[in-house]
Amino acid sequence: MTQSIAPAEIHPRITDPLLPSLLSQNSPLWTPRQLNELTSTVTTELTTALRGLLRFDADQRWWARLALTDGVELWLLSWLPGQQTRPHDHGGAAGSFTVLQGELTEEYRYPGGPVRQRVHTAGDGLGFGAGRAHRVGNASAAPAASVHAYSPPLVPTREYSTLAEVPAETPPLPVIVP
């Protein structure tokens, strides 16, 4: 049994009715493709609202939760030059991110696979399955921002010292005890 969340908790400064309609999916789990469609649509259609929320912090990466439902959580993140995550996975959750502005460099690895690198520029998005571990950062000279989604929501990430530490098999999702 999982904790039930209200139909959709939406950031109070996002008033466009599009977001609640995008979150109205009845399925408790979203696929990587559905998450990618969500982050791509949000960055394309809610650009003005997102830019109104966006903040940059020189001391740490900034983020704001845009929405939370029983099936998905949605975040807006900002990245100043040089800011990055530690290598991590999403605890067995599927995910997606779409770059709103600037560019982000991602080093990633699937269990048992090689470490790869990819640069994502404004408008680029991707959905990924539960096994993907990555480190995302802004290696450019300009600020960047991105929209991220995860399903199921509220699953803690697992951090690694390096992507080489990612286990050969994806551990299962944690059991949530009421």
Classify residue 19: in a domain, yes or no: no
Classify residue 15: in a domain, yes or no: no
The total number of structural domains in the chain stands at 1
Classify residue 4: in a domain, yes or no: no
pLDDT at 1: 34
pLDDT at 131: 87
Closest to 120 measured CA to CA, from 109, 133, 110, 106: 106
Query: Is residue 4 within a helix (H) or strand (E), and if so which, with residue range?
Result: none
Say yes or no to pLDDT of 103 above 90: yes
**pLDDT confidence tier of residue 35, bands split at 50, 70 and 90:** very high
**Domain of residue 128, residue span:** 28-165
Classify residue 12: in a domain, yes or no: no
- Residue 165 CA to residue 162 CA, distance in Å, equals 6
What is the average pLDDT value for the chain, to the nearest integer? 92
Query: What does pTM read for this prediction?
Result: 0.92
**Contact by Cβ (8 Å): 56, 63:** no
Helices (H), the chain: 18-22, 32-45, 47-53
The CATH number given to whatever domain includes residue 76 is: 2.60.120.10
pLDDT at 178: 45
User: 16 φ, ψ to 5°?
Assistant: -65, 130
Question: 20-29, 108-117, 139-148, 166-175: which has the minimum mean pLDDT?
Answer: 166-175
Classify residue 56: in a domain, yes or no: yes
**pLDDT confidence tier of residue 2, bands split at 50, 70 and 90:** very low
**pLDDT confidence tier of residue 66, bands split at 50, 70 and 90:** very high
Classify residue 13: in a domain, yes or no: no
Tokens representing 79 are 């990245």
User: 91 φ, ψ to 5°?
Assistant: 65, 15
pLDDT at 5: 52
